[in-house]
Amino acid sequence: MHILFPALVEFSDVGLLLLRLMVAVVFFDSGLNHLKNPVERSKSIGASPRFTMFLGTAEVAGSIGVALGVFTQLAAIGLILIMLGAIQKKIFVWKIGFWGGRSYGWHYDLMLVVMNLVIITTGGGKFVLR
């Protein structure tokens, strides 16, 4: 394997930390939106208020795990499952294309899946609490 900028490789753990923090910010904010007003939010996502609260709690918990590096891989797996549910809903229920149409597409959700796959396969780097 040829690395064009080998000096940058020493910063890969910093890059993984930044990736984890970005994923955490996205899911934490989304989870809080679910928990703030679950009845209203449940209508917009087509789910029950009870499931919306579960989803919000799972997103907040997963984001904290990913950010802090506590059960990092399990947290990332949970966040992937959430995103696969979102992708399924967008494709098969709402009939939204990859780039979108009447709403943003599932390309965004797929990026979050891949970001979490990187976290899983790397363990999140060395800056974790474990």
Domain ranges of the chain: 11-122
| Predicted local confidence at residue 2, as pLDDT | 86
Q: Which two tokens stand for residue 96?
A: 């939204």
Assessment of whether the complete model's pTM goes beyond 0.85: yes
Query: CA separation (Å) from 119 to 3, 26, 44, 49, 105?
Result: 21, 15, 30, 30, 23
DSSP summary character for residue 91: I
Q: What is the pLDDT along the chain (130 residues), one digit of tens a residue?
A: 789 999 999 999 999 999 999 999 999 999 999 999 999 999 999 999 999 999 999 999 999 999 999 999 999 999 999 999 999 999 999 999 999 876 689 999 999 999 999 999 999 999 999 7
Dihedral of the CA atoms 124, 112, 15, 24 (nearest 10)?
-70
